[in-house]
Amino acid sequence: MRLRLQYTKLGPARFLGHLDLMRLFQRAARRADLPLAYSAGFNPHPKLALGPALPLGMESEAEYLDLECTQEIPAREVQGRLQEQLPEGISVRKAKVIDSQTESLAAAIKCAAYRAELPPDVPKNKVEEAISRLSSQEKVLVKRKDKEVDIRQGIYDLKIEGDGGVFLYMLVACSQRLNVRPTEVMEALGLRATKPYVCRSGLFISCSPPLVTPLNEIFGR
């Protein structure tokens, strides 16, 4: 039996690294007495996989986790039992049984949505002009270690949101082929806030409307 869960990573939990988060869910599943399936071999490990890693310190409203159990258990029961063992900030919002042939999260997820707080001293019209300029560019080169990467083809949507236009919405590539970092987009727009607040608001298996989540739900409905 294979399940896919959606959970949040907010508040103090945002300081958990990817490997720490994996160990946290493994321990929580054992304490919840879930019959986890294990891999074969000399060093078996629980069949549990997380979605794309978040930068340390970034919050998320919709992360995903796949796990496999050896017995049939209602998804809502798994959700409830697991939630009882999780700390503040990690909240399991949804759980769904998925087919054993469903693509892994790593293979299925193609893009991510982020919400970044705009610097208070930057006028809204300046941000809109910067978005228009970037959207007209054929290439957007960013430096990563000793090479340059063109992220333009991985920027799908940019717009200002929130009351008074205080947030920048970004829909960008988040896949094994190309991963666009929200801070790179902000720098390309000339928004060099010292430590901007950025939250990942969604992960999707499609990059054009309608956006579809890894639970095969249309986003926003």
Token pair for residue 183?
Answer: 């801070």
pLDDT in tens, 18-30: 999 999 999 999 9
Is pLDDT above 70 for 105? yes
Q: What is the pLDDT, as a whole number, of residue 162?
A: 79
Phi, psi at residue 107, to the nearest 5°? -80, -30
Token pair for residue 168?
Answer: 């920048």
pLDDT in tens, 46-85: 999 999 999 999 999 999 999 999 999 999 999 999 999 9
Per-residue pLDDT averaged across 130-140, rounded? 96
Per-residue pLDDT averaged across 81-93, rounded? 96
Helices 18-31, 75-83: crossing angle, 10 deg rounding:
110
Q: Which domains are seen in the chain, by residue range?
A: 2-105 (3.30.70.580), 109-204 (3.30.70.100)
- Average pLDDT for the chain: 93
Higher pLDDT, 65 or 161: 65
Q: What is the pLDDT, as a whole number, of residue 16?
A: 95
Q: What is the pLDDT, as a whole number, of residue 43?
A: 85
Please give the Cα distance from 220 to 215 (Å, whole number): 13
The strand pair at 147-150 and 59-68 is best described as unpaired
Phi, psi at residue 165, to the nearest 5°? 70, 55
Is pLDDT above 90 for 195? no
Question: What Å distances lie between residue 118 and 46, 56, 108, 169, CA to CA?
Answer: 41, 20, 30, 10
Per-residue pLDDT averaged across 43-48, rounded? 90
Q: Is 216 helix (H, G, I), strand (E, B) or coil?
A: coil
Please give the Cα distance from 46 to 38 (Å, whole number): 4
Q: What is the pLDDT, as a whole number, of residue 220?
A: 65
Instruction: Enter the pTM of the model.
Output: 0.93
pLDDT in tens, 200-214: 999 999 998 899 999
Higher pLDDT, 28 or 122: 28
Please give the Cα distance from 33 to 84 (Å, whole number): 11
Q: What is the pLDDT, as a whole number, of residue 194?
A: 62
